[in-house]
Amino acid sequence: MHIGKAIRLERIFNRNTGKTIIVPMDHGVTVGPIKGLASIRDVVTKLVAGGANAGLVHKGQVGLGHRMEGSDFGCIVHLSAGTVLSPFPNRKRLVTTVEEAIRLGADGVSVHVNLGDESEGQMLSDLGRVAASAADWGMPLLAMIYARGPKIGNEYDPDVVAHCARVGAELGADVVKVNFTGDAESFSRVVASAGVPVVIAGGPKKDSTRGVLDMVRSSLDAGGSGLSVGRNVFQHRDPVRLVAVLRRIVHENMDVDSALEGYENIL
């Protein structure tokens, strides 16, 4: 492995466990300044206090969401974008480059692809070009791959999710982010067929904090490498304590009940 990539990956993945807690905060472009993201700096302060490994932001927010003094909080710069205001909301376009992310001090970059969308071909082409550039520079690449389009009946179907993960791996991603399939047995097949570390998305804000924790635990039991969860973390009433519990589950391999001891009030 490129030494630069190895160094950067250690800022995203815990070197002892090989797992990660990533909190994406790129939602301001997609859906606007939603609850919990009014101040990126405030969110990052809470995430660092709880013990998250890395945050994911667009280039204009790096100065507010990068590593803070005394912390090893990693920074992933998201390279692609699209908004819900567009007539083609699932179409993602590249809005910056690996080289600009390097100038900003990023530890990794990410690209979003929606398989099944009419513009799938362009998004796959973009992912391939970014993967080549990232490999040249020793920059870790996270590929967010979802199935969203007119032919997609269920984006959480295990076969569909496994296809998403495999596409990211085949096109050069170092890490793939996909939907959780609902149980450890089916998700283990996704992980096994990917060949690179797999992290789960959180999806829309959930009503149950326990449900989020159980989902994370099941994904780890299936061989997953952690999580990349946004709204279910930064919109929680106590992100600091929630991340602390997630850290127990992800990096100390605790079951949910054990991880919640002393933190039951987050439920």
Confirm if 219 and 188 have CB atoms less than 8 A apart.
no
Say whether 146 is catalytic: yes
* CA proximity to 101, closest of 140, 64, 69: 140
For 147, other C-beta atoms within 10 Å of its C-beta total: 25
Choose the catalytic residue: 19, 126, 146, 174. Answer: 146
Choose the catalytic residue: 5, 59, 92, 177. Answer: 177
Could you give the CA distance from residue 109 to residue 58 in angstroms, rounded to a whole number? Answer: 10
Q: State phi, psi for 147 to the nearest 5 degrees.
A: -105, 105
Say whether 26 is catalytic: yes
Choose the catalytic residue: 26, 107, 117, 174. Answer: 26
Bridge partners of 80? Answer: 94
Bridge partners of 199? Answer: 177
Helix (H, G, I), strand (E, B) or coil at 158: helix
Confirm if 181 and 156 have CB atoms less than 8 A apart.
yes
Whole-angstrom CA distances from 266 to 128, 220, 242 are: 41, 21, 7
Could you give the CA distance from residue 17 to residue 151 in angstroms, rounded to a whole number? Answer: 38
Could you give the CA distance from residue 214 to residue 2 in angstroms, rounded to a whole number? Answer: 35
Bridge partners of 226? Answer: 20
Q: State phi, psi for 5 to the nearest 5 degrees.
A: -65, -40
The set of catalytic residues is 26, 146, 177
